[in-house]
Amino acid sequence: MYKFLKNLSCLVCLLALFGSCRKKAFDDYYGRPANLAPPIYQVLESKGNFTTLLKVIDLSGYKANLSAGGYWTFFAPNDAAFTKYFAATNSSLASMNADAARKIVAYCLVYNAFKTDRLADYQSNAGWVPGIAFKRRTAYYDGFMTGAGPDGAATVYTSENRNIGTYVFGDNNNKYIPYFFSTFMDGAKLTAADYNYFFPNSTYTGFNVVNASVVNKDIIAENGVIHEIDQVVTPLPSIEQKLSSNDQYSVFKGLYDKYLVTFTKDDNYTRQYNTITGKTNTAYVKVYNSTLNYAIGNENYMKLENDDGQKDGYTLFAPNNTALQPYITNTLLEFYGTLDKLPANILADFMNSHMFSNMVWPTKFATTKNNTNEEARFDPATNVIDKQFCSNGIFYGVNKVQQANVFSTVYARAYLDPAYSIMTRILDLTIKIPVTTPGLRYAVFMMPDNVLRTMGFDYDPITSSFTQTVSGVKSSGDVPKAALTRLLNLCVVPTPNNEMNNLAGDGIIETNGGEYIRWHNNTVFNAGFYEQSKAATVIGSRDYVNGRVYYLDNQLFPFPANTIYTDIANNAVKTTDPYYDFFQYLSNSALAGSTSTSTQKEIVGIQLGAPYTIFIPTQAAMKQAVVDGYLPGTTTGTGTAKQFVSFNYKPTDPNDIAKVSQFIYYHILSGITIVPDGKKGPNGNAFPTMLKTQTGNALTISSFNQPNNLRLEDMTARFANVLPPNNSGFFPATSNYLGTYCVIHQIDNYLRFNLN
């Protein structure tokens, strides 16, 4: 028995020794390292200058969180910070409740631990992006709120946590806290001026958190990192909350509330609210219209990546009531009367022009663009009357309205008036971008719906297509759209030098579509009007930032129907008409061809829709061409005594027949229309004619084009001048005669060529 007890005692000792060894090994491997820093709460205790903060943490209910495991960054206000805070707010620790304490602690508590070596880096889906972050998501969120809505002033709702009319249940819409770290500031080319614009009573130190300075950084704790700050930081408002806090922006806010916000009942949020509060209210989600650039209450930025709120935010420029109300009355509602009648797209364009989907820093107004590529058109010194760095971006209260392109350019005249709905639609589909660009100047002849319908054009909203009725037959689709586009391009004229600011004189100019129009004593006409021997009268105008719009007397430019051949013929009826001799040669030549789509003849080789310029010599020049042997005819004498006798319009000799065709072709520029305006070919530029060599190379004419002085040089270095136009009537014409995609000029000399 004794032996047994002795052996048992030895076994127990061995087991105890073995167990002790295993426990030591386990503790060595899995136990808490002796050199590991304590949790955040205990580190704050050990420092001795966070006594008030510790009491606030206790009151907030966050002691357990900060005393246990986790991974946090805590911006910790020291005791001196609380002394200043209580003095500034006329409060005390004794008067602070749990909710106020929670706001201070939770808003300074950031998810994940960030030392200063990573604080300015963005956590992208692909990895760290250095130097572009200035915000982090905090533990603080507003949760359910009450305010005006479907259930009256006590409507329970939560803010939308995504853009474009969506939200995600379970996302608490946590607020972000901004910090201003030198790495980010330097990389973004921001200075102390950008910081002090929002926080004028703070000193920029290279590491600021809201209005506070970091006085002790990178304090390591078991469950995160502490950065000591010298001011108490409370939750910043969202842009939505800031807008709602001041009645001087009530008109602007009212546009959102009445027309661009809906409250959506949500069963999940209702159940959550009822469970938390024990109340029976219905809970809603406040949703912004999907036509807006973003939801001003959304704290999550775009959420294209999980953490993209770290590197950017929204900016809202809110005009005060004094600036906004007159603009609404005089501009937006000039032709609608009430906001209820204003189309939703116009209202959305107006609001979006003030909503930048990025941060507009004070020193970067002129270089930061909104979604329509327009800069912030405000002076940060004189136009900004209120500013607030918010949890989801920047709020600027301004004393003027953003002069958006769609409301300040020539495009605005059609866009803001329902009487021009067809014109607006075709503008939107074709040339909206150039005509809404402030740096590009235009003159625009307005195209009223009633005039377009008289011309056979319309728009079918059911099929979303343009229509055209010709001789009682209605068509839709591409053909009417093409015709309407051509008409629009006749009515839109680029005027980089304000060429059409005075229509009292005479002028000619190329339209947006490449066709020309002329004006004379406040009347305008195109090739179609030439054919009718009439013009449209200008009855009014209005100026915009990039040009002027004109109103005509209930008519628009008709499309020309004549061929170039017919245009020449119309000015060659009598022997004294300016184009008579040229036309006689043409009409009796092999170039007087027929067309497949018209009973009219056309010059052989002319392509429908292509531009041409025809130079027709005077009768004296035509006679000289006969004398010089470039046209068939009868002469007397020889050498310098050679004189003209008669034209031979109907030659039978093959060489003479060839001379006529070559002469005519060399007097037609192919692929270009040119007028004496100084724009095309000002410095001897060579342009191709219809006359080609046997190898297919086009012979050229050189142009020396100055305003009201177009001079031509042929292949033999001879010159011809374009004669002034005849403004006394439509027929017979001299120069600047407008035809179908062509211009016809009379010149004082004929042009020689060399086929060799």
Hey, what amino acid is at 635? T
pLDDT of residue 26: 39
Range with the poorest average pLDDT among 332-336, 543-547, 594-598, 689-693: 594-598
pLDDT of residue 726: 77
CATH of domain 40-139+176-234: 2.30.180.10
* Other C-beta atoms lying within 10 Å of the C-beta of residue 305: 15
pTM reported for the whole predicted model: 0.89
pLDDT of residue 728: 53
Please calculate the CA angle 523-528-531 and round it to the nearest 5 degrees.
95
Q: State the pLDDT confidence band at 31, using cuts at 50, 70 and 90.
A: very low
Ranges of each domain in the chain:
40-139+176-234, 237-408, 422-552, 564-747
Mean pLDDT of the chain: 94
Closest CA to 110 of 223, 232, 242: 223
Q: State the pLDDT confidence band at 632, using cuts at 50, 70 and 90.
A: very high
State percent of the chain over pLDDT 70.
94
Hey, what amino acid is at 476? S
Q: Is 692 exposed, middle or buried (0-12, 13-18, 19+ CB in 10 A)?
A: middle
| 13, pLDDT greater than 80 | no
Please calculate the CA angle 476-482-485 and round it to the nearest 5 degrees.
120
CA distances from 37 to 219, 223, 225, 378 (A): 10, 9, 11, 51
| 30, pLDDT greater than 50 | no
Which CATH fold would you assign to the domain 422-552?
Answer: FAS1 domain (2.30.180)
- Please tell me whether residue 518 adopts helix, strand or coil conformation: strand
Range with the poorest average pLDDT among 20-34, 373-387, 673-687: 20-34
Quick one: average pLDDT of 358-377?
Answer: 97
Q: State the pLDDT confidence band at 599, using cuts at 50, 70 and 90.
A: confident
Q: State the pLDDT confidence band at 598, using cuts at 50, 70 and 90.
A: low
Range with the poorest average pLDDT among 32-46, 492-506, 698-712: 32-46
Rg of the chain over Cα atoms, rounded to whole angstroms, equals 40
Domains 422-552 and 564-747 share a fold: yes
Q: Where are the beta strands (DSSP E) in 230-294?
A: 261-265, 283-288
pLDDT of residue 445: 98
Under 8 Å between Cβ of 277 and 296: no
Superfamily per CATH, domain 237-408? FAS1 domain (2.30.180.10)
| 732, pLDDT greater than 80 | no
| 3, pLDDT greater than 70 | no
Task: Give the Cα separation of 137 and 206 in Å (integer).
Answer: 21
pLDDT of residue 733: 79
CATH of domain 564-747: 2.30.180.10
- Please tell me whether residue 350 adopts helix, strand or coil conformation: helix
Quick one: average pLDDT of 260-278?
Answer: 97
Task: Give the Cα separation of 723 and 92 in Å (integer).
Answer: 92
